[in-house]
């Protein structure tokens, strides 16, 4: 039998029961739409996290000061102050592939200018920091390596800090008092927005780490060291070399734990995206259940349809339709229902996630692959749930079918 007329027959059968066809397809529309929207939300969240991890910089290795145990009480990472400026210099000098290093110290404190003041975070960094984090200035200039060597009283500030203290005034060249030390503002950073943890990344003052250690925070140890490697392929080797270099410098005997932690950006990204990946799978699975229910709806309607059209099947068989012809006809009907539902579902799923993006401000990401998978899956649902009713129709005895009332 020819496939063209079969499509025609299926199409006509579906049109004959418009309301029923629409309702049956609705099950698939909702199922596919839910899958598309849910996976879109999950992927959007994941992409957002990934983008923020990527904003740490490319091929970055982070070295955190370790924890110590004193009188049985363990401090957290960074609590021990085991990293020294000399460690950072050694890394810069000895580890191959390293192109940038930034020594980092962090504190929070009150800053003031004129009659305004604001509580903000103080980051001490090297001049390389802006390149490592790919964080350009919106206005003004960054501090230089020379500023770091001389521990000059200069800083750059984030957009939030700038607005809070200076309002609409241009802060560049102004004096900002930090712990009563006057710092000259060299520039304002481009806004970065919220971090994945919800911290306003623009609420910040960045100054040379030497200035921070000497004039603001005090102390001689670093919280962490940011290292950037030139070539992605060298990251892993560099990580190992940093570990052995620091163990050697810190006189850690074999068998004892490190007093520092080394994490590549990739490891951090993996941990951070694991949650959103689980969320995507979970949302997708829940939506998948509704697709399954839609499939059962198709099966139900096809069974009703086979019973209703028993005589028609008998007539078709009497005039020469083989079992396969009948099977094909009902399968095409089921697949048409499910794939038309699938297409509409994809469209409504995309629309739903757009609406969510705009009104609920949720990031959504719909990939071509998720659309293709959703479409193929909905067609497969048609085949799977259509097969049993279709086979039932094909197996009818023509005499019985013709006699059916």
Partner 1 sequence: MNNGVLVRLIDVHKVYRTGEMEVPAVRGVSLEIKRGEFVALMGASGSGKSTLMNILGCLDRPSSGQYFLDDADVSGLNRDQLAEIRNRKLGFVFQSFNLLSRTSARENAELPLIYSAQHLSHAQLREKADRVLGSVGLAGREDHFPSQLSGGQQQRVAIARALINDPEVLLADEPTGNLDSRTSVEIMAIFQQLNEHGITIVMVTHEQDIAAYAQRNVVMRDGLILNDGLVSQRRNAATELRQPSASTV
Compare residues 2 and 253 and give the one whose CB is closer to partner 1: 2
State the minimum distance, in angstroms, from the CB of residue 17 to partner 1.
10
* x/- map, 363-402, partner 1, by CB under 8 A: -----------------------------------xx--x
Q: Which residue among 19, 73, 319, 360 contacts partner 1 (CB under 8 A)? A: 319
CB 192 within 8 A of CB 55: yes
User: Could you tell me which residues are beta bridge partners of residue 187?
Assistant: 140, 156
Can you tell me the distance from the alpha carbon of 9 to that of 13, in angstroms, rounded to the nearest whole number?
Answer: 6
Q: Which residue among 288, 312, 338, 389 contacts partner 1 (CB under 8 A)? A: 312
Can you tell me the distance from the alpha carbon of 363 to that of 353, in angstroms, rounded to the nearest whole number?
Answer: 9
Can you tell me the distance from the alpha carbon of 87 to that of 82, in angstroms, rounded to the nearest whole number?
Answer: 9
State the minimum distance, in angstroms, from the CB of residue 13 to partner 1.
9
Enumerate residues 272-311 that contact partner 1 by CB under 8 A.
Answer: 311
Compare residues 16 and 256 and give the one whose CB is closer to partner 1: 16
Q: Which residue among 191, 323, 363, 384 contacts partner 1 (CB under 8 A)? A: 323
Q: Which residue among 11, 16, 68, 233 contacts partner 1 (CB under 8 A)? A: 16
- Using the contact rule CB under 8 A, the part of the chain among 2-10, 159-167, 214-222, 336-344 near partner 1 is 2-10
Can you tell me the distance from the alpha carbon of 134 to that of 381, in angstroms, rounded to the nearest whole number?
Answer: 47
Compare residues 5 and 76 and give the one whose CB is closer to partner 1: 5
Contact flag: residue 200 with partner 1 (CB under 8 A): no
Give the residue among 276, 313, 282, 309 at the shortest CA–CA distance from 14: 309
Alpha-carbon dihedral sign for residues 193, 60, 138, 114: positive
Please enumerate in sequence order all residues whose Cβ is within 8 A of that of 370, keeping only pairs 6 or more positions apart, or say none.
35, 36, 39, 40, 43
Can you tell me the distance from the alpha carbon of 66 to that of 80, in angstroms, rounded to the nearest whole number?
Answer: 6
Q: Which residue among 199, 274, 318, 355 contacts partner 1 (CB under 8 A)? A: 318
State the minimum distance, in angstroms, from the CB of residue 392 to partner 1.
15
State the minimum distance, in angstroms, from the CB of residue 402 to partner 1.
7
State the minimum distance, in angstroms, from the CB of residue 307 to partner 1.
15
Can you tell me the distance from the alpha carbon of 5 to that of 98, in angstroms, rounded to the nearest whole number?
Answer: 69
Contact flag: residue 324 with partner 1 (CB under 8 A): yes
- Using the contact rule CB under 8 A, the part of the chain among 5-13, 86-94, 100-108, 120-128 near partner 1 is 5-13
The pair of structure tokens assigned to 179 is: 């712990």
Q: What is the largest CA-CA distance in the chain?
A: 102
Please enumerate in sequence order all residues whose Cβ is within 8 A of that of 355, keeping only pairs 6 or more positions apart, or say none.
none
- Using the contact rule CB under 8 A, the part of the chain among 8-16, 25-33, 194-202, 369-377 near partner 1 is 8-16
- Using the contact rule CB under 8 A, the part of the chain among 171-179, 282-290, 292-300, 314-322 near partner 1 is 314-322
State the minimum distance, in angstroms, from the CB of residue 321 to partner 1.
5
State the minimum distance, in angstroms, from the CB of residue 394 to partner 1.
10
Work out whether strand 175-178 and strand 60-65 pair parallel, antiparallel, or are unpaired.
unpaired
Contact flag: residue 320 with partner 1 (CB under 8 A): yes
Can you tell me the distance from the alpha carbon of 323 to that of 315, in angstroms, rounded to the nearest whole number?
Answer: 13
**CA atoms within a 13 Å half-sphere pointing along the CA-CB vector of 315:** 4
Concatenating the DSSP letter of every residue in 78-119 gives TSS--EEHHHHHHHHHHSTTEEEEEEEEEEEEEEEETTEEEE
Size of the site for partner 1 (CB under 8 A): 24
Q: Which residue among 196, 245, 325, 387 contacts partner 1 (CB under 8 A)? A: 325
Contact flag: residue 19 with partner 1 (CB under 8 A): no
Applying CB under 8 A, the residues found at the interface with partner 1 are 1-2, 5-6, 9, 12, 16, 311-312, 314-325, 398-399, 402
């Amino acid at each position: 039998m020819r496939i063209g007329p079969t499509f025609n027959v299926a199409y006509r059968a579906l049109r004959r029961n418009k309301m029923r066809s629409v309702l049956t397809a609705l099950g698939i529309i909702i199922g596919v739409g839910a899958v598309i929207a849910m996976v879109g939300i999950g992927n959007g969240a994941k992409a957002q996290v990934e983008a923020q991890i990527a904003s740490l910089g490319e091929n970055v290795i982070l070295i955190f000061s370790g924890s110590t145990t004193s009188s049985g009480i363990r401090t957290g990472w960074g609590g021990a102050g085991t990293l020294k400026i000399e460690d950072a210099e050694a890394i810069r000098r000895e580890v191959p592939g390293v192109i940038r290093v930034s020594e980092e110290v962090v504190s929070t404190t009150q800053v003031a200018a004129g009659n305004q003041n604001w509580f903000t975070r103080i980051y001490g960094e090297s001049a390389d920091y802006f390149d490592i984090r790919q964080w350009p200035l919106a206005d003004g200039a960054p501090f230089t390596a020379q500023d770091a060597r001389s521990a000059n009283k200069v800083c750059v500030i984030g957009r939030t800090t700038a607005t809070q203290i200076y309002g609409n005034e241009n802060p560049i060249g102004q004096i900002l008092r930090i712990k009563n030390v006057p710092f000259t503002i060299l520039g304002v950073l481009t806004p970065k927005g919220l971090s994945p943890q919800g911290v306003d990344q623009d609420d910040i003052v960045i100054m040379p780490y030497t200035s921070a250690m000497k004039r603001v925070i005090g102390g001689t140890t670093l919280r962490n060291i940011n290292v950037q490697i030139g070539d992605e392929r060298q990251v892993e080797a560099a990580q190992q070399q940093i570990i052995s270099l620091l163990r050697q410098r810190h006189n850690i005997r074999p068998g004892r734990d490190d007093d520092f932690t080394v994490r590549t950006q990739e490891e951090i990204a993996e941990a951070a995206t694991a949650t959103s990946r689980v969320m995507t799978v979970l949302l997708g699975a829940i939506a998948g259940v509704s697709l399954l229910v839609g499939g059962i709806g198709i099966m139900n309607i096809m069974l009703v349809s086979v019973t209703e059209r028993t005589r028609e099947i008998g007539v078709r068989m009497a005039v020469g339709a083989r079992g396969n012809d009948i099977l094909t006809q009902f399968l095409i009907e089921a697949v048409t229902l499910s794939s038309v539902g699938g297409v509409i579902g994809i469209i409504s799923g995309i629309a739903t996630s757009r609406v969510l993006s705009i009104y609920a401000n949720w990031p959504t990401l719909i990939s071509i692959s998720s659309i293709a998978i959703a479409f193929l899956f909905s067609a497969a649902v048609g085949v799977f749930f259509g097969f049993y009713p279709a086979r039932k129709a094909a197996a009818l005895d023509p005499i019985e079918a013709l006699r059916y009332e």
